[in-house]
Amino acid sequence: MKIKIFFLIVAMFLFNGLNNARELNDLAIVSAIGVDVDEKGQYVLTAQVLNTKKQNSSGGSSSSGGQPSLITVFNSSSSSVHGALRDMVDQSPKKLYIAHMELLLVSEKVAKSNMFETLDFFIRDNENSNDFILAITKDTSPKDILEVLTPLETNPTQSIKDSIEVTYKNKGTTIHNILSQNISIMLKPGINMVSVSIGLEGNPKEGQSEENIKNSNSKTKITVKELAYFDNRTLQGYLNEEEGIYYNLARNDLESAMLNLGTKEDGFVAEIIEAKCNSATKVENEEYIIDFDFKVKCAITEISKDKHVENLEEINTMQKQIEEKIKSEFISFVDNCKNKYNSDLIGFGNLYYKNMNKEYEKMQSKYGNDYLKHINVNCNVEVSLVNEGSVMSVW
C-alpha cells in the first residue's frame, strides 16, 4: 500500500504536464495583430501587446516623464506569418501569447491576394479559438492603426472591437463576424465574403502619443468604415455605407438601423427595431427566381415641421414610404452586386446550393461564375410602425 502511494506521488510530479507550464509573467498577451506586406513581398506583422508593467502608484508623473503607455507594439517581417511572429521575441522579453487575441487587421494589399493563405496560420494554430474579429484597414496600414491610443477605452483593441459592435447593433452598416464565421463563408459555394473595414482620421504619428487622449477632441481617431467585399477570396472594393444595412437585412442579421426619408421639410426618420427575412428559391420556365420577404418593425424618431403623425392615414402613408424605400434600396443593392461589384455577396448561389442542389449544378454548368446575372430577385416588404415616440401632435 505504501509503495502504491509513493508511486502515485512520484507519478503526480512527473506526469502533470510541467513541461508545458508557462507562468503568466512570462507571457506577452497579444490583443491584436496586423498583417501587411512590404515591397519585397515579405509579411510585416504588427502585434499590440498589453503592457502589464505596474503603473506609478502615486498616480503622478515621475521626474523623467509621464506614465508608460498601456500598450506596446512590436513589428517584424519575415517570409511567413509564423516566422514574423516568432521573430518578435528578439524585441520582446516575453513570448507572445495569442490565445486572447481579439482583432486581426489585414491591409488592403494582403487582402487583394489570396486571404486564405494569409489566414492559414491562424486557422491551423491550436492556441487560439478563431473567435477574433477580422477587419481590413482602409487607406491605411495595420501598423498605423495599432499604434494609436484611444480615448474612453484604455485598451485600443477593445475600443475598436466595441466600435464595431456598437456600429453593428445601432447603425446596422457593418457586421460582427468572427474569424470562424468568415472561414465558413469563404469555403461555402455560391457566396463571397464581406468584411469589416477600419480607417484612420488624422495624423497617425500624433495618435501614438498620450496627447491624443488628453485632449477633449482627439486629433487622431480610429473609425469603422464601409464593408469590404471580396470575390474569390480577394478584396475587390467597398460597399457604400447604406448598402451595409441591406446586406445585413438580407442575411437576417439586422439588429437596428436608421432610415432617412423624404426632404428636410416633409421628411421623417424611422428606426428599424426588428427585421426578419425569409427567402425562397424557385425555377420557373428555366428562370431562376428568389423571393425575399422582409418583415420590418419601425419606430418614428424624428419628423420635420410639415409632417404629421396624428391619424391612421398618415401612419399608413409613412409605412408605405418606408416599404418603398427599403424595396428600392434593396433592389438597387442587388443590381450593384450583379453589375457593379460582380460578386455574390448575399449568397444567392448558396441558397440554390442548399435548397435546390440539382438546379444549382445546372446553373453552374450553364452559366459558370456568371450565374448571378441570371437570377431574378423579387422583394416584398411589410412594415409595421409600432412606435411614434412620446409626442403625438406637432409641437
Partner 1 sequence: MVKEEINNQSQEADNITSFGYASFFITITKGFFLGIGTYMMFKISRVDTYMAAIMGAIASIITIAILYFIKTHSQNKDIIDLNKSLFGKVIGTILNIILCVTLLFLVILVLQNISQFVKIQYMPDTQVNYIRLLFLIPITYAAGKSIGIISRISQLVFFCNLAMLIASLIGLLPEIQINNLYPILKDGAMPPLSSAIIYFVLYSFPILLLTIIPNTKIIKSKHSKWKVILVFIYASFVLCSRILVAILILGEEVLSIYRFPEYVMLKMASLFEIIERMENTLAIQYLFDVIMFCIFALYFIVTFLKKKIKGEKKEKILPYILALVIFIVLNVMFKGSMLGYQLIENYIIPIVLVGIFVPMIITLLGTIVKAIKDKVMTLKQATS
Least distance between partner 1 and beta carbon 164 (Å)? 18
Burial 241-258 (b: 16+ CB within 10 A, else e): ebbbbbbbbbbeebebbb
Q: Which is nearer to partner 1, 63 or 126 (CB)?
A: 126
| Lookup: cell for 269 | 426618420
Place of cell 447604406: 242
Least distance between partner 1 and beta carbon 81 (Å)? 18
Q: Rounded CA gap, 382 and 356, in Å?
A: 26
Q: Rounded CA gap, 292 and 295, in Å?
A: 10
Q: Give me the DSSP letters along 297-365.
A: EEEEEEE-TT---SSHHHHHHHHHHHHHHHHHHHHHHHHIIIIIS-S--S-HHHHHHHH-HHHHHHHHH
Q: Which is nearer to partner 1, 79 or 180 (CB)?
A: 180
Asked whether 268 and 306 are in contact (CB, 8 A), the reply is: no
Tell me which residues touch partner 1 (CB under 8 A).
Answer: 11, 14-15, 17, 19-20, 123, 126, 129-131, 180, 183-184, 187-188, 353-355, 357
Q: Which is nearer to partner 1, 168 or 238 (CB)?
A: 168
Least distance between partner 1 and beta carbon 354 (Å)? 4
Least distance between partner 1 and beta carbon 153 (Å)? 21
Asked whether 174 and 193 are in contact (CB, 8 A), the reply is: no
Least distance between partner 1 and beta carbon 370 (Å)? 22
Least distance between partner 1 and beta carbon 365 (Å)? 15
Asked whether 281 and 351 are in contact (CB, 8 A), the reply is: yes
Q: Rounded CA gap, 270 and 318, in Å?
A: 9
Q: Which is nearer to partner 1, 131 or 139 (CB)?
A: 131
Q: Is the dihedral of CA 197, 202, 208, 209 positive or negative?
A: negative
Q: Which is nearer to partner 1, 55 or 129 (CB)?
A: 129
Q: Rounded CA gap, 47 and 71, in Å?
A: 10
| Three-state secondary-structure class, residue 131 | coil
Least distance between partner 1 and beta carbon 15 (Å)? 5
83 Cβ partners below 8 Å, 6+ apart?
43
Q: Rounded CA gap, 237 and 214, in Å?
A: 35
Q: Rounded CA gap, 281 and 352, in Å?
A: 7
Q: Rounded CA gap, 31 and 212, in Å?
A: 20
Q: Which is nearer to partner 1, 32 or 179 (CB)?
A: 179
| Three-state secondary-structure class, residue 212 | helix
Least distance between partner 1 and beta carbon 93 (Å)? 19
| Three-state secondary-structure class, residue 29 | strand
Least distance between partner 1 and beta carbon 145 (Å)? 26
Q: Which is nearer to partner 1, 56 or 278 (CB)?
A: 278
Least distance between partner 1 and beta carbon 14 (Å)? 8
